[in-house]
């Protein structure tokens, strides 16, 4: 058995278990739920301090045969409101993509405290939003100082799903941030995604 796809589903906090149960019923062997915070693009929400809301990030690994039924189950999840989340897949193991894609997943791992700077730059460059996960760097004892650089173990991982048309500009804007210019402050990479779906109540 070889897993060929990773399905990432980002929904409001508390809905991850419901979506995971539907994925299992459709043939998934399990999944992992991470808790993060969404960063909405609305200026008004940010002013009112309501922009950051807790999110569940469901990570599901599937084989090629399992993918169709599992993704269909996630896509059809009866969530209570419109725009309750998104789901998309990433090819694993260097497998060729089945078709040209319109979206790209930009991942930034930075020292804790810089995620909001990353999101602010990304929004100015056209990102609609992102999800921030709290993380921790790992290393050998004594690695806190590497070639004179202090490595901060507390990290934040920022996931930004962007349309291909604006992805390059978003990455350039993040790379140009002064707070990330010093070596050891963070890394950024991107991968193409397939089968993007908006989840939630249909009109």
- Residue 14 has a pLDDT of 87
- Residue 47 has a pLDDT of 46
Query: pLDDT tens across 152-163, in order?
Result: 578 899 999 999
Token digits for 97? Answer: 């993509």
Percent of the chain exceeding pLDDT 70 equals 79
Q: Does residue 49 come out as left (phi exceeding 0), alpha (psi in the -120 to 50 range) or beta?
A: left
Q: What is the mean pLDDT of the chain?
A: 84
CATH architecture group of domain 103-192:
2-Layer Sandwich (3.30)
**Length of the chain, in residues:** 203
Query: pLDDT tens across 174-203, in order?
Result: 999 998 888 878 899 999 998 888 887 655
Domain ranges of the chain: 5-99+193-199, 103-192
- CATH hierarchy code of domain 5-99+193-199: 3.30.70.120
- Residue 57 has a pLDDT of 93
Query: pLDDT tens across 29-67, in order?
Result: 999 999 988 875 555 444 444 456 788 999 999 999 999
Q: Which residue has the higher pLDDT, 175 or 136?
A: 175
Confidence band, pLDDT 50/70/90 cuts, at residue 109:
very high
Among 63-67, 101-105, 142-146, the minimum mean pLDDT is found in 142-146
- Residue 144 has a pLDDT of 55
- Residue 31 has a pLDDT of 93
The string of DSSP letters for the chain reads ----EEEEEEEETT-HHHHHHHHHHTT----EEEEEEEEE--HHHHHTT-SEEEEEEEEEEE-HHHHHHHHHHHHT---SSTT-EEEEEEE-TTPPPSS--SEEEEEEEEETT-HHHHHHHHHHTT--EEEEEEEE----TTTTEETTEEPPSEEEEEEEEEEHHHHHHHHHHHHT-GGG-STTSEEEEEEEEEEEEEES---
Same topology, domains 5-99+193-199 and 103-192? Answer is yes
């Amino acid at each position: 058995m070889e897993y060929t796809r990773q399905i990432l589903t980002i929904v409001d906090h508390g809905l991850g278990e419901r979506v995971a149960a539907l994925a299992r019923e459709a043939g998934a062997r399990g999944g992992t739920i991470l808790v993060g915070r969404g960063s909405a693009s609305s200026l008004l929400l940010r002013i009112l301090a309501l922009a950051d809301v807790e999110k569940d990030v469901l990570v599901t690994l599937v084989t090629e045969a399992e993918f169709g039924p599992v993704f269909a189950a996630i896509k059809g999840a009866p969530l209570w409101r419109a725009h309750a989340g998104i789901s998309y897949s990433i090819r694993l193991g260097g497998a060729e993509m089945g078709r040209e894609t319109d979206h790209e997943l930009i991942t930034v791992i930075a020292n804790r405290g810089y995620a909001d700077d990353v999101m602010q730059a990304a929004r100015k460059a056209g990102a609609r939003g992102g999800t921030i996960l709290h993380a921790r760097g790992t290393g050998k004892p004594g690695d806190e100082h590497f070639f004179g650089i202090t490595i901060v173990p507390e990290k934040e991982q920022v996931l930004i799903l962007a349309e291909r048309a604006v992805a390059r500009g978003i990455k350039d804007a993040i790379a140009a941030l002064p707070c990330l210019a010093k070596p050891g402050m963070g890394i950024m990479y991107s991968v193409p995604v397939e089968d993007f779906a908006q989840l939630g109540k249909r009109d």
